Amino acid sequence: MAKYITKRVLVSILTLLAILFVLFLMLSLMPGSPFNDEKLNATQKALLYAKYGLDQPFFIRFAKYVAAMVKGDLGFSYVINKNKAVSEMVAGPLMVSIKVGAMGMALGSVLGLLLGIAAALNHNTWVDTLCSIVSIMGVSVPSYVFALLLVYFVGFKMGLIPILYTSKNVAASYIGPMIALAMSPMANVSRFTRSEMIDVLGSDYILLVEAKGVRQNNLIMKHALRNTLIPIITIMGPILVNLLTGSMVVEKVFGVPGIGTLMVTAIQSNDYNVVIACAFIYSALYIVMMLFIDIAYGIIDPRIRVAKEK
């Protein structure tokens, strides 16, 4: 197991470095410069470039950036918040994004699990059909469409949730983004739970448990659900990816001050260091989550580990 984990961690670090390199390369190819003030003349621009070290060759800048990053220094913002450390700018939004994402994920998983169980227990009835319709909608309709519909119908027409994020009522502001983000995990989890549960309920050991006279509730909670849950870890990866990508747009729709909103603002104002930091945080979150899922799955199902060690 230790060997497997070491290998996966090493691959992850290498991937992160490669991503950082690609990001750096792309940004240096980007048109425009962070100093767009028309009052600046060529000499002043050159001075600014020298001050921030932007006049040095590409590889030297890259090496310096990586060395600083290891110490937790992500450089300074050039435009949005002049001379403020990026690591400070990013910390707050990151917590907000994680909070909203985690709430969406939790809500979606619980609802999805309940829907899936309801569908499996009422296999081939109208309940099953209803659950299938809900889940296919959740899988195919993008989360920002849900966000827009929520803003209009629940926020504007009914006035139940704030249309835009307000710092006065943070808790209520989280409801909209949370529901919009919960749709995709809910749909995926319910689809998977349903098919796994139907399989488990049809198995011999459930027949035996039934024959022993175990009560229905006990049968589902203790015997069927536990065995259903294990394979669900396999779909956690794709679900989290959906959640991450969805959060970028959903945050923008609701105006939530998270990493997604910060990144879009930074992109629009050519703030190199902030863009790199945000993109890197997204990639790092993604890779770390994938790593955890892989390791968790390796612990639960040794066959995966053995196959990958070969």
Partner 1 sequence: MSEIIHKKPVLTDEIVDDFSENDFVFVQEGERLTDKAYKSTSYLHDVWINFSKNKGAVVGAVIILIITLFAIIGPMVSGYTFDGIDLPHQSMPPRIPGIEKLGIFNGFERGKNVYEAKDALDLYFWLGTDTNGRDLFTRVCEGTRISLFIALVAVVIDIVIGMSYGLISGYFGGVVDMVMQRLLEVLNGIPTLVLVTLLGLVLPSGMTTIILALIITGWIGMSRIARAEVLKLKEAEYVLASRTLGAKHFAIIFIDILPNIFGQLITMAMFSVPSAIFTEAYLSFVGLGIPAPAASLGTLISDGYKSLTVHPYMIMSAIVVLALLMLSFNLFADGLRDAFDPNQKH
Residues near partner 1 (CB under 8 A) are: 11-12, 14-16, 18-19, 22-23, 26-27, 29-31, 136-137, 139-142, 144-145, 148-149, 151-152, 156, 163, 195, 199, 241, 244-245, 248-249, 252-253, 263-264, 267-268, 275, 279, 282-283, 286-287, 290
Cβ atoms of 193 and 108 within 8 Å: the answer is: no
Closer CB to partner 1, residue 59 or residue 152?
A: 152
Cα separation values, 197 from 44, 194, 202, 225, 264, Å: 68, 5, 8, 7, 41
- How big is the chain by its Cα radius of gyration, in Å? 24
Closer CB to partner 1, residue 174 or residue 286?
A: 286
Cβ atoms of 99 and 207 within 8 Å: the answer is: no
Closer CB to partner 1, residue 199 or residue 301?
A: 199
Closer CB to partner 1, residue 6 or residue 44?
A: 6
Shortest reach from residue 148's CB to partner 1, in Å:
6
Shortest reach from residue 195's CB to partner 1, in Å:
5
Q: How far is residue 288's CA from residue 70's CA, in Å, rounded to a whole number?
A: 16
Cβ atoms of 278 and 91 within 8 Å: the answer is: no
108: which residues sit within 8 A by CB, 6+ positions away?
181, 182, 183, 184, 185, 186, 189, 239
Closer CB to partner 1, residue 47 or residue 149?
A: 149
Cβ atoms of 39 and 46 within 8 Å: the answer is: no
Shortest reach from residue 147's CB to partner 1, in Å:
10
Cβ atoms of 175 and 104 within 8 Å: the answer is: no
Residue 69 CA from chain centroid, whole number = 22
Closer CB to partner 1, residue 114 or residue 241?
A: 241
Shortest reach from residue 203's CB to partner 1, in Å:
13
Closer CB to partner 1, residue 214 or residue 235?
A: 235
Shortest reach from residue 251's CB to partner 1, in Å:
11
Cα separation values, 193 from 130, 160, 163, 197, Å: 15, 31, 33, 6
Shortest reach from residue 25's CB to partner 1, in Å:
10
Shortest reach from residue 141's CB to partner 1, in Å:
5
